[in-house]
Structure 1
Amino acid sequence: MEAGIVGLPNVGKSTLFNALTASQAAQSENYPFCTIEPNEGIVSVPDDRLTKITQYIVPQKVIPSALKLVDIAGIVKGASDGEGLGNKFLSHIRQVDAILQVVRCFEDPDVIHVSGNVDPVADIDTIETELVLADMQTLENALGKAQRTARSGDKEAKLRVSVIEKCNAHLESEQPLRTLSLTEAELAAISSYGLMTAKPILYIANVGEDDLEGKDPLVDKVRQHAKDSGADVVCVSAKLESEIAELDESDRDEMLSDVGLEEPALNSIARAAYKTLGLESFFTAGEKEVRAWPFAIGASAPQAAGVIHTDFESKFIRAEIYTLDDLEEYKAEKDIRQAGKLRVEGKGYIMQDGDICHFLINP
């Protein structure tokens, strides 16, 4: 699963991405930032449950869950018609699973806004309009083929035509597809189109260094917009975070204390992006490693096992599961087992956030 960072010019998008890069590179080898390409990287998702587990199970390594972030080319008005780097922007955003939009929520006469004035909701509308127009074009191109196939009596094609028309009507009302209720069958019918406004979104309010809690009225506007669209908001000073990320651990802790932060705001972004992607974590724990693994909310035990290795899903027999609460109460896995608290779950089990698991598979 991956999330794309988007934004207009001069809103702090690249500064934020570079801060994430520097922050991860400065951490220990168990928390790596892996650069895939100049604009892509893997970022770990901080989870204090890992620390709690290792109080009882001491491993050689601790490995957090991770997600892929993509710094997507900047967008300008008219991108849906190919303006600026519009085509590159659109092709990249079609490939990601969620959108992280950075919006500027601070005034600075030395940093000129592309529109001449700072208005984060207008920035949001600019990008959303381009994505709406691009999605309409995609669906219009797909409609003719779907209609021709539907004439032959193909049931799937008939459903596809119906869903395309339903989506187009929604887009024509200037509403993104993420606000349209579709059944699983309807979603499957259009899943191959990479519709951008159907992707979940997280708004990142880039605030001034003197407004780390996001009390500026500009941030309130973003929060209200996000509330109306069912999205979340995270506040961050990209400039401050980039400075913090370049420090060694002792200096970083001192600077965080000086500005009143318990942890870098980048950690909040990673966790919020994880949530936006619809992910939760299960854990595997042993002497070799304690590790968090991502799974899609609603995934079955075999599907979760497949995250570890693709063969594990088809070879799944059962899962042995306990919780952090069990571990904190009984102190050791063997004592959890002896107390009869180790649950045995089959193929129909739906994974819960925080499950600590052993998967048994066929050889």
Structure 2
Amino acid sequence: MEAGIVGLPNVGKSTLFNALTCSVAAQSANYPFCTIEPNEGIVSVPDPRLSRITKYIVPQKIIPAALKLVDIAGIVKGAAEGEGLGNKFLSHIRQVDAIMQVVRCFEDPDVTHVAGNVDPIADIDTIETELVLADMQTLENALPKAQRSARGGDKEAILRVAAIEKCNAHLESEQPLRTLVLPETEALAISSYGLMTAKPILYVANVDETDLEGKHELVDRVREHAAKTGAGVACVCAKLEAEIAELDEEDRAEMLSDVGLEEPSLNVIARETYKTLGLQSFFTAGETEVRAWPVPVGATGPQAAGVIHSDFERGFIRAEIYQVDDLEQYKSEKEIRAAGKLRIEGKAYVMQDGDICHFLFNV
């Protein structure tokens, strides 16, 4: 699963991406970072439950869950018609699973805004309009073929035509597809189109150093817009976070204290992005490693086992599961078993956030 970082020029998009990647690289080896390409990176998702687990199960390695971020080329008005790097921008968005849009919520006369004035809602509208137009074009191109197949009695094509017509009507009302609820069969019939306004979105309000809690009215406007369109919001001062990320651990802690933060805002951004992607974590814990694994919300036990290895899913028998609270109460897995608190779950079990698991399988 991956998220694409988008935004207009001079809103702090690349500063945020660089801060995220630099922050992870500067942490201990327990929080790995690696660059895949110049504009892509793997970012760890900080999870305090890992330290709670390792207080009782001491491993050789600690491995947090991770997500992939893509720093997507900037957009300009007219991208849907190929202006600027529009085609490249749009093709990259189609490939990601969620969108992080950085919007500028600070005033700075030394940093020129591409539109001449700071207006985060106008920035959001500019990009959303381009995505709506591009989705409409995708659906318009797909409809004739779907209609031909539907006339021949193809059941999937019939579903596809119905879904396209509903989506087009929704887009024509200038609403993103993430606010449209389709029957599961229809949604599946058009899933291959990579419709961009259907992707979940997180608005990242880039704030001034004097407004780290995001109390400025510009941020309030972003929150109001997000509430109407089913999006999330997180605040960050990308400039400050970039400075913090370059410090060693001791100096970082001191600077965080000086500005009144308990942790870098980048940690919050990583967790909010994880949530926007529809992910939650389960854990495996032993002397070799304690590890957080990402799994979609609603995944079953076998599907979670498959995240570790396809053989685990194919030969799934059962899962032995307990929670972090159990470990803190009983101090060890042995005592959890003795107290009868180790749950045995089968193939129909729906994973819960924070499950600590042992999977039993046979292939």
Shared fold (TM-score, shorter chain, > 0.5): yes
Determine the C-alpha separation between the residues in 1 that align with 2:225 and 2:300: 34
Q: Are the counterparts in 1 of residues 104 and 118 from structure 2 also a CA contact under 8 Å? A: yes
Aligned twin of 2:111 = 111
* TM-score, scaled to structure 2: 0.99
Aligned twin of 1:339 = 339
Note the alpha carbon deviations across 1:236-274, whole angstroms, 9 max, x for none.
000000011111111111111110011100000000000
Q: Are the counterparts in 1 of residues 65 and 292 from structure 2 also a CA contact under 8 Å? A: yes
Determine the C-alpha separation between the residues in 2 that align with 1:315 and 1:140: 44
| TM alignment of 1:120-131, pairs within 5 A | 120-131=120-131
| TM alignment of 1:13-24, pairs within 5 A | 13-24=13-24
Note the alpha carbon deviations across 1:115-141, whole angstroms, 9 max, x for none.
000000000000000000000000000
What letter corresponds to residue 43 of structure 2 in structure 1? Answer: V
1:164 match: secondary structure: helix
What letter corresponds to residue 82 of structure 1 in structure 2? Answer: G
The offset of 1:204, in angstroms, is 0.2
The offset of 1:339, in angstroms, is 1.1
Determine the C-alpha separation between the residues in 2 that align with 1:311 and 1:185: 29
2:219 match: secondary structure: helix
What letter corresponds to residue 245 of structure 1 in structure 2? Answer: A
| TM alignment of 1:19-168, pairs within 5 A | 19-168=19-168
2:284 match: secondary structure: strand
What letter corresponds to residue 346 of structure 1 in structure 2? Answer: G
Task: Say whether 1:182 aligns with 2:144.
Answer: no
Structure 1 ranges of 4+ moved more than 4 A: none
The offset of 1:187, in angstroms, is 1.0
Aligned twin of 1:247 = 247
Determine the C-alpha separation between the residues in 1 that align with 2:165 and 2:298: 29
Aligned twin of 1:281 = 281
The offset of 1:309, in angstroms, is 1.0
Determine the C-alpha separation between the residues in 1 that align with 2:21 and 2:57: 30
What letter corresponds to residue 333 of structure 2 in structure 1? Answer: E
Determine the C-alpha separation between the residues in 2 that align with 1:313 and 1:305: 5
Q: Are the counterparts in 1 of residues 5 and 69 from structure 2 also a CA contact under 8 Å? A: yes
Which structure 2 segments of 5+ residues have no match? none
The offset of 1:338, in angstroms, is 1.1
Aligned twin of 2:229 = 229
The offset of 1:196, in angstroms, is 0.2
1:23 match: secondary structure: helix
The offset of 1:228, in angstroms, is 1.1
The offset of 1:30, in angstroms, is 1.7
Determine the C-alpha separation between the residues in 2 that align with 1:329 and 1:109: 55
Task: Say whether 1:7 aligns with 2:10.
Answer: no
Q: Are the counterparts in 1 of residues 178 and 230 from structure 2 also a CA contact under 8 Å? A: no
Determine the C-alpha separation between the residues in 2 that align with 1:223 and 1:158: 38
Q: Are the counterparts in 1 of residues 202 and 233 from structure 2 also a CA contact under 8 Å? A: yes
Note the alpha carbon deviations across 1:166-219, whole angstroms, 9 max, x for none.
000000000000000112111101000000000000000000111111111100
The offset of 1:315, in angstroms, is 1.2
Determine the C-alpha separation between the residues in 2 that align with 1:293 and 1:252: 27
The offset of 1:21, in angstroms, is 1.3
Note the alpha carbon deviations across 1:86-132, whole angstroms, 9 max, x for none.
00000000000000000000010110000000000000000000000
Determine the C-alpha separation between the residues in 1 that align with 2:24 and 2:183: 39
What is the aligned-residue identity percentage?
82
* TM-score, scaled to structure 1: 0.99
The offset of 1:311, in angstroms, is 2.1
Aligned twin of 1:306 = 306
What letter corresponds to residue 200 of structure 2 in structure 1? Answer: P
| TM alignment of 1:208-227, pairs within 5 A | 208-227=208-227
Determine the C-alpha separation between the residues in 1 that align with 2:187 and 2:307: 23
Q: Are the counterparts in 1 of residues 22 and 245 from structure 2 also a CA contact under 8 Å? A: yes
